[in-house]
Amino acid sequence: MIRFVKNFLSIAFAAIISTCVYGQKFDSLALTPQMGWNSWNKFACDINEDLIKSIADAMVSSGLKDAGYIYVNLDDCWHGKRDSLGFITADPVRFPHGIKALADYIHKKGLKIGIYSDAGRKTCAGRPGSLGHEYQDALTYAKWNIDYLKYDWCYTKDVNPRCAYPLMRDALYSAGRPILFSMCEWGSDKPWEWAADVGNSWRTTGDISCVFDAADNKGNYKRLGVVQIINKNAALRKFAGPGHWNDPDMLEVGNGMPINEDRAHFTMWCMMAAPLILGNDIRSMNEATREIIENKSVIAIDQDKLGIQGLRFEIKDSVQVWLKPLENGNWAFCLLNTGKRDKTFDIFWQKYNLEDNVSGLSTSFYKEIYSITNLWNGKNCGTTAKKCTVIVPAHDVVLYRLVPLKKNDCF
Ligand code: GLA
């Protein structure tokens, strides 16, 4: 009898482990795509507590906090060794006062702090990974008052992501502090199909590089530029929504692309309801960069409460036409020119009558007239009652908000 019970229990336990049916995630996080800053794209492993504190200062003084950027996130290379009990510590040279003191500093500014780990044996830069230490690490992050965890996927031979990510989700939940869970498994195992109850976002692609179209850069055909990432992410719109976003990787705005390409990159991340995680040195950015990342009416497209990723309606030569349903019957309408020449584009609005089966919303340019506001120059461009001809500059966008006119509005 005892043997029977033992066998039964071990089979039941094995079944639970193998199907990875675990608990739940915190349900009130990332109801709109998360906004913040991360150290990797600009600083890679070259981080320390003075740098992060000065970034937090700049988040406030530059107006980024007011624009909605709240998270200050450490990426790889903050780690020291594990202690004799297996608990992770911070690198004592780079972070001599420890992560808790840094978290206190960041919290005093009204911001939140993010940290980075990896589901494997090591992080991508070779620091200790969380494999086998998930509950210990989650407890440590909670004790340090961490608000956000990016969880990477290096050194994971023989690890199943469908178990590893739920395991860390459960560890975080058990630790009791709401920590936004940003999955970084690069889309290898299609997390959009299984992770809505696991993460608050999941990377859909490999790493971004600071280039608009990688196909333009000879020899770099394997790198992902902005255009390559858009092409991968566009197909996944039905999987995104409040609390669980497609993440096409962190922003490269301000890291060296020309201003038109930065504007197009930022706009498309907003059209795709992507997390807006800055990756530039915000302490020394120029005015043109600041104007892009702090444009509140463009950010509002990303942060719209409906949380619906935009759809690519058509591709005509080098021009892509995108629409995104917004609250109150509004729509974002965007033309993206991926080509190297400026394009003159006629917008025949009736062509864009659409029944969107993802959101259940529809445009109706026959029944409804919308006012048109250009969100990059703030200009009112009349209404959708008649055809509109615009020039879409090379590697750039035209972005409109369409608002249905009320009966008495006169234009
Ligand atoms: C991976 C991730 C990057 C970054 C690095 C850090 O490549 O995809 O975003 O976190 O690891 O080593």
pLDDT digits (tens, 9 = 90+) for 168-227: 999 999 999 999 999 999 999 999 999 999 999 999 999 999 999 998 876 666 789 999
Please compute the mean of the pLDDT values over residues 248-264 and round it to a whole number.
98
* 274 in the same domain as 153: yes
Over range 340-354, report the average pLDDT.
97
**Model confidence over 121-167: pLDDT tens digits?**
999 999 999 999 999 999 999 999 999 999 999 999 999 999 999 99
Task: Select from 405, 409, 260, 411 the least CA-distant residue to 340.
Answer: 260
**What is the tens place of the pLDDT at every residue in 25-35?**
998 999 999 99
Q: Whose CA is nearest to atom 3 of ligand 1?
A: 207
Residue 9 above 80 pLDDT? no
Tell me, yes or no, whether 138 and 53 share the same domain: yes
Residue 22 confidence class, pLDDT cut points 50, 70, 90: low
Nearest-angstrom CA–CA distance, 325 and 319: 20
152 and 297 both lie in a single domain: yes
Ligand 1 neighbours (beta carbon < 6 A) = 40, 75-76, 123-125, 152, 184, 207
Residue 409 — pLDDT band, cuts 50, 70, 90? low
Give the domain CATH number at 378: 2.60.40.1180
Asked if the structure places residue 52 within a domain, the reply is: yes
Looking at the domain assignment, is residue 389 inside a domain? yes
Residue pair 78/90 in contact (Cβ under 8 Å)? The answer is: yes
* Tens digits of residue pLDDT in 373-390: 999 999 999 999 999 999
Q: Does residue 408 surpass a pLDDT of 80?
A: no
CATH of the domain at 230: 3.20.20.70
For residue 260, is pLDDT > 90?
yes
- Ligand 1 centroid–CA 214 distance in Å is 19
Q: Looking at the annotation, which residues are catalytic?
A: 152, 207
> What domain range is 379 assigned to?
311-404
Tell me: do 294 and 365 sit in the same domain: no
Pick from 151, 141, 137: which is nearest to 183 by CA? 151
Count of structural domains within the chain: 2
Residues 390 and 297 in one domain: no
Model pLDDT, residue 223: 83
What stretches of 121-258 show up as alpha helix (H) in DSSP? 134-143, 161-175, 226-234
Q: Residue 198: which H helix or E strand, with range?
A: none
Ligand 1 closest atom vs CA 250:
9
Is 54 within the bounds of a domain? yes
Cα-trace Rg, the chain: 23
Same domain for 325 and 296: no
Model-level pTM?
Answer: 0.94
Around Cβ 410, how many Cβ atoms within 10 Å? 4
Identify the helix (H) or strand (E) that includes residue 391: strand 388-392
Cite the DSSP H helix spans in 76-133.
Answer: 98-108
Q: What is the pLDDT of residue 14?
A: 43
Instruction: Looking at the structure, tell me whether residues 336 and 244 fall in a common domain.
Output: no
C-alpha to C-alpha distance for 81 and 303, rounded to whole angstroms: 39
Residues 224, 103 share a domain: yes
Residues 316 and 193 in one domain: no
Buried b (16+ CB within 10 A) or exposed e, 204-223: bbbebbbbbbbeeeeeeeeb
Pocket test for ligand 1, best of 116, 156, 207 (most atoms within 8 A of CB): 207
* Residue 322 alpha carbon to ligand 1 centre in Å: 29
Angle 98-108/49-61 helices, nearest 10 degrees?
A: 10
Residue type, 266: F
Looking at residue 406, what is its pLDDT? 79
- At 12 the pLDDT is 45
Once rounded to an integer, what is the mean pLDDT over residues 112-118? 99
Q: Residue 106 pLDDT more than 60?
A: yes
One domain, residues 181 and 320:
no
- In this prediction, residue 23 carries a pLDDT of 77
Burial class (CB in 10 A: 0-12, 13-18, 19+), 381: middle
**pLDDT tens sequence across 89-104:** 999 999 999 999 999 9
Please report the atom of ligand 1 found closest to the CA of residue 44: 6
- The answer to whether position 10 is within a domain reads no
* DSSP element (H, E) containing 267: helix 259-271
Please indicate, yes or no, whether residues 357 and 298 belong to a single structural domain of this protein. Answer: no
Alpha helix stretches (DSSP H) within 272-323: 287-293, 296-302
Q: What is the pLDDT of residues 40-84, one digit of tens each?
A: 999 999 999 999 999 999 999 999 999 999 999 999 999 999 999
Domain contains 4: no
Size of the chain, expressed as the number of residues it contains: 411
Q: Which atom of ligand 1 is nearest to the CA of 125?
A: 12
- Examine residue 332 and state whether it is found in any structural domain, yes or no: yes
- Identify whether residues 206 and 161 lie together within a single domain: yes
Question: Which residues are within 8 A (CB) of 28 and not within 5 positions of it... i.e. 6 or more apart?
Answer: 178
Distance from the CA of 41 to the center of ligand 1, in angstroms? 9
Q: What is the pLDDT of residues 282-331, one digit of tens each?
A: 999 999 999 999 999 999 999 999 999 999 999 999 999 999 999 999 99
pLDDT recorded at residue 362 = 97
* Residue 72 alpha carbon to ligand 1 centre in Å: 16
